[in-house]
Each structure stands twice: as C-alpha cells, then as structure tokens.
Amino acid sequence: MTTPDDKDRRLGRFRVDPDHGSRLTTDQGIPVDDTDNSLRVGERGPTLMEDFHFREKLTHFDHERIPERVVHARGTGAYGYFEVTDPLTEYTSAEFLRDTSLRTPVFVRFSTVAGSRGSADTVRDVRGFATKFYTRQGNFDLVGNNMPVFFIQDGIKFPDFVHAVKPEPHNEIPQASSAHDTLWDFVHLQPETTHMMMWLMSDRALPRSFRMMQGFGVHTFRLVDEEGAGTFVKFHWKPRLGTHSLVWDETQKIAGKDPDFNRRDLWEAIEAGQYPEWELGVQLVPEEREHAFDFDLLDATKIIPEEEVPVRPVGRLVLDRNPDNFFAETEQVAFHLGNVVPGIDFTNDPLLQARLFSYLDTQLIRLGGPNFTQLPVNRPVAEVRNHQRDGYHQSAIHTGRAAYHPNSLSGGCPAVVPEGAFTHYQERVDGNKIRKRSESFADHYSQATLFWNSMSDWEKEHIIAAFRFELGKVEHRHIRQGVVANLNNVDHYLAVSVAEGVGVEPPAQPATPNHGRSSPALSQANAPRDSV
Ligand code: HEM
C-alpha cells in the first residue's frame, strides 16, 4: 500500500467500521439486545409493530438496491494516481498536465456495456475505461472506451442503439451477447456502425485483463492554453503490460468457470502490489488543420491515423489501491463528460454534445437527486463553494444567510472573475437551425477497410468467425443479407466468407467501393421481404 494521497486522506473521514461482533445498535445508536428473534406475542404469536429494531432492519434492507447504470452496469474500479511526464504547458492551462511535481489522485472504473450488473466479464463487448482525476482545479473525467471509435455519430440515436443492443424486450434474451436480431437489425440499417462493428467482431472485444487494455477518449476534445488558444486533442491510454486478448473459445469457458475473471484479476494484482500502469498519450492537431483530413474530426466513428498524427506520450497512470466498499465507491461513482477543468474543453462532435446532457441527467435518478457530488468517491479534493442548497440526501450543513448571488452579507460578490476560473473556449459558430448531418460525416466504410487491412491473416479469420457466430444466430434472413451487403463495402472476401457462414447469398464484387453515402439495406428496409 502506498502512502495516502489527498483523496485517500479525505476518504478517511468517511470510513466506518461498525465492528458488528461486539456491539450492535440501531440507526439511532440504541444498543440492540437480540437481532435474531423478532418481538412477538408468546413464542408462536404474531410479530409486533412496535419492534422498531425489526422494522428498521427490514426497511433498510428493502431499500438497499438502486438502479443499475442504464449502460455499463457491470464494472469494477480502483484508485491510483496520474503524473504528467512530458508537460503540455504550451497547449493547456490544466495544471495536472503541466506540473511534473504533481501526483493527481484518480479513480478508474472499467466496465462492459450491454450486460446487467451481475453478468459475466468475458463477453464479446466494448469495455468502458472511465477515469476521474481529482485535480486541484476540480474534477476532470475522461470517460472513454477500449476502442477508439463509436457506433453512431449523433447522440440522438443513442437510445435507439442501446435498445437494439440490450436484451430483446419480449424475453430479456440474450443477456450480454451480440448475437441477436435487434442489434443486427439496427446495425444493417445504420452503416455508420460498420467501423465500430469491425472492432467489436475483433479480438479487441475480448480483453484478457483490464491491465492489458488500451483506452481512448474517442472524441476530439480541445486543449486550451493560458491565452485562450485551442488545439484539438485525442486521448489514448496504453497499458505497460501490452494489449492482450483472449480467444473466443477461452472467453466462453471462462465465463462459465469464473464470471468475475477480469474483476478478480485487477483486484488480485493490486492486492499483490503488482500495480497496473498506463501511459497517457495525446494526438494534437492545430486548429488550422481542422479540415486537413479526409474525414471529419468531429465524427466519432473515425480515428486519426497515427501515421498522420503520431501519439505523443505525456503521462503515467498507476492503480495502486482497491476500494474499501464496492457499493459506496465503484457503484456510486458518477463520471460525466461535462466535468472538465480549465485548459480542457469540448468540440462540436454531436455525440460528445449529447453525452454532455446524458450523464448528469441519468445520475440524478440513479443516485437519487442532486447531491451525489457529495458522496465520498465523487467529492473533489478542490474546494467546493457555491449556492447550491438543500435537496435529497443533503449532507452539508451550510451556514450563513445568503444562498444567492450577488450578496453583500457573506462575501459572495467578487468584483472580478477570479484567477484560474473556467472560461469556455471562444469558438465562433454561425448557421441555420437544421436537422442535417454534414456531408463530411458520410463516408462509413473507408476506415472500416483500413482497420480490416491492418489485421494479420489470423486476426482476419477471428473476425470472420465472430461475424459468423454472432450473425449466424440472427433469425431473419434479410438482416443477415443486409449485414453482408454492408460488409461488401468493407472487403469482398470478408463479405463472401461471412455470407457462406450465415447461409445467405454471397454478394457480387462491387464495381467501385461504396463509401457509405447510403446503406444498401436501408433503401430496401421498407420493401416486402421473406420473413425468416
Ligand atoms: C456510461 C463511455 C456514448 C450515455 C458510460 C460509461 C462509460 C461510457 C465508460 C461508464 C461510466 C462508469 O464507469 O460509471 C462512453 C463512450 C461513448 C459513450 C466512450 C462514445 C464515445 C454515450 C452516449 C450516451 C451515453 C452517446 C448518451 C447520449 C451513458 C450513460 C451512462 C454511460 C447514460 C450511465 C452513466 C451512469 O449511470 O453513471 N459511458 N459512452 N454514452 N453512458 Fe456512455
């Protein structure tokens, strides 16, 4: 165990050891004489309402559960620290990315996406990689995944996508699997999912260990320097132990024998002092180069190829402490893309913009009201001073009379913007209000092909096998055929190999690659079809 950091010291105030063995009390602190027998009339009579200990014990138990996360419900977390090794001083005013003497405490939660809280670890799925940096300038959350792209380009489609991914509504089947009609129905009608589906069918979806998994911020963010000038940035986590996957056959056996395989691995490594480490890397793109690529930097279904913009290593993340209590910390941690510190800002990526709304919104119900920021794991180490008051689960005792701004009673009326305050990046935007996606988002296949071409032969065989397995379980033939038609725009050999494995017509060699202007399947979606 390393020496306690700032966050650890603050958590110390909240740690409680009820020492059940020696003395039991009620929630009111009243010593309990007997917790095994309820108070009743005679030895075989009814239980009495006046048994306050019985009622309190049962009531508390009855209310122990909170809703699981709407996605990423299954997860595990750990504390650690981040150190910047190559300061980004010229690009950002964020102190934790500038000052090499700082050790910034962090909490990281790894997760699967589709399965429920009790589902198995080693399923074919995306993995979440969410990091809360408790910086001296406030909390910064980097809420990423282990794949560098996403399924959709605009967050307004997220509910549709998640409804399609999750178990089907009539029978809750399948739990945590990519083998079902609704997922592939959505996918074949939305060709923007193609690039991410290639990642999902690859071995990247089967990480051997969280310690051996990359992480990506996915979106293009902005670093902002002290003068207010911006630089586009993509964030990358690279594991020191290398990136390793299981193979499909292993994952299925492990899911049966040890559904907690990844969770256990992380826990045990940390307990044994084998602290996992990641390197933080950044791809930096000057604002002037915003339109220099053959894809749109605001499109989350695209990577910036490293040949075009190399990843610059800038820091190190170490996880060295397991939480004390899963529910209090790992379950109640609340990550939010909107938690940024001075020197880091957003872009107009429409997926990112939707996420800025969604996380806080869902946490208001998941964690029971607006005061979840006071929960020990969510509290910043930076000072919190504002006029937010009251609400469910308020644990602060705010003193003073003035809970408003400006006021002349309690010094709440600063004349100037305090130094170090967050000021939003001053981007000029101009346009008509329209529901329309930019043409620069229209190419859905080039990078899927790039991904396919970067695979070795055995990796390609794994991808084909995965498509055959997952898509092969889809009942509706037109969906299988539609997916194959989309894949034909990625690679003809891939499409034919998948077609053969899932019992549909192999497609003809495309005359020219269709770079996704429209989905072949979408145009047929409303046409009459053979049912199964
Ligand atoms: C949860 C990543 C897109 C809504 C999460 C978590 C991660 C994550 C890692 C788990 C956080 C935790 O461990 O507590 C991503 C990435 C995305 C993406 C990398 C795309 C690049 C979206 C979009 C939406 C969304 C587009 C909605 C518009 C949610 C919600 C949760 C969640 C509601 C549950 C949060 C909670 O209950 O605390 N996401 N997500 N995500 N995500 Fe996303």
**Ligand 1 pocket residue status of 155, Cβ below 6 Å:** yes
Q: For position 20, what pLDDT does the model report?
A: 57
Measured in Å, residue 179 CA sits from the centre of ligand 1 at: 22
* Closest atom, ligand 1, to C-alpha of 351: 26
Contact 483, 184 (CB under 8 A): yes
Measured in Å, residue 145 CA sits from the centre of ligand 1 at: 9
Measured in Å, residue 68 CA sits from the centre of ligand 1 at: 13
Q: Which two tokens stand for residue 270?
A: 């940390």
271 burial (CB, 10 Å; 0-12 / 13-18 / 19+) is exposed
Catalytic residue among 60, 63, 139, 145: 145
Closest CA to 522 of 193, 190, 196, 184: 190
Farthest-apart Cα atoms in the chain, separation: 88
Measured in Å, residue 315 CA sits from the centre of ligand 1 at: 24
**Ligand 1 pocket residue status of 354, Cβ below 6 Å:** yes
Compute, in degrees rounded to 10, the torsion defined by CA atoms 510, 513, 514, 519: 60
Residue owning the nearest CA to atom 31 of ligand 1: 71
Cα-to-chain-centroid distance, residue 307:
27
ipTM: 0.93
Q: For position 530, what pLDDT does the model report?
A: 41
Q: For position 179, what pLDDT does the model report?
A: 83
Residue owning the nearest CA to atom 13 of ligand 1: 109
**Ligand 1 pocket residue status of 476, Cβ below 6 Å:** no
**Ligand 1 pocket residue status of 150, Cβ below 6 Å:** yes
For 240, list phi and psi in degrees, rounded to 5.
Answer: -60, -30
Closest CA to 270 of 213, 324, 197: 324
d(CA 442, CA 302): 11
Q: What is the pTM of this model?
A: 0.95
**Ligand 1 pocket residue status of 353, Cβ below 6 Å:** no
* Closest atom, ligand 1, to C-alpha of 130: 9
* Closest atom, ligand 1, to C-alpha of 75: 13
For 278, list phi and psi in degrees, rounded to 5.
Answer: -130, 150
**Ligand 1 pocket residue status of 216, Cβ below 6 Å:** no
pLDDT, averaged in runs of 10, over the chain (532 residues): 85 84 90 97 97 98 98 98 98 98 98 97 98 98 98 98 96 88 98 98 98 98 98 98 97 98 98 98 98 98 98 98 98 98 98 98 98 98 96 96 90 71 96 96 98 98 98 97 98 98 96 54 45 36
Strand locations in 339-461, DSSP E? 344-345
Measured in Å, residue 130 CA sits from the centre of ligand 1 at: 9
Measured in Å, residue 71 CA sits from the centre of ligand 1 at: 7
Q: For position 414, what pLDDT does the model report?
A: 62
**Test site for ligand 1: of 68, 126, 143, most ligand atoms within 8 A of the Cβ:** 143
- With residue 396 as reference, give the H or E element that holds it: none
For 242, list phi and psi in degrees, rounded to 5.
Answer: 85, 165
* Closest atom, ligand 1, to C-alpha of 361: 33
Q: For position 514, what pLDDT does the model report?
A: 53
Measured in Å, residue 105 CA sits from the centre of ligand 1 at: 22
**Ligand 1 pocket residue status of 335, Cβ below 6 Å:** yes
**Ligand 1 pocket residue status of 359, Cβ below 6 Å:** yes
Q: Which two tokens stand for residue 124?
A: 């074919």
Measured in Å, residue 64 CA sits from the centre of ligand 1 at: 24
**Ligand 1 pocket residue status of 109, Cβ below 6 Å:** yes
Residue owning the nearest CA to atom 9 of ligand 1: 128
290 burial (CB, 10 Å; 0-12 / 13-18 / 19+) is middle
Q: For position 21, what pLDDT does the model report?
A: 63
**Ligand 1 pocket residue status of 148, Cβ below 6 Å:** no
Which residues, listed in sequence order, are joined to residue 140 by a DSSP beta bridge? 133
d(CA 291, CA 288): 8
**Ligand 1 pocket residue status of 218, Cβ below 6 Å:** yes
**Ligand 1 pocket residue status of 477, Cβ below 6 Å:** no
The yes-or-no answer on residue 145 being catalytic is yes
**Test site for ligand 1: of 66, 69, 347, most ligand atoms within 8 A of the Cβ:** 69
Contact 157, 165 (CB under 8 A): no
Q: Which long-range contacts (CB under 8 A, 24 or more apart) does 100-103 make?
A: 102/136, 103/5
Give the sign of the dihedral formed by CA 77, CA 100, CA 216, CA 317: negative
Closest CA to 516 of 153, 100, 86, 135: 153
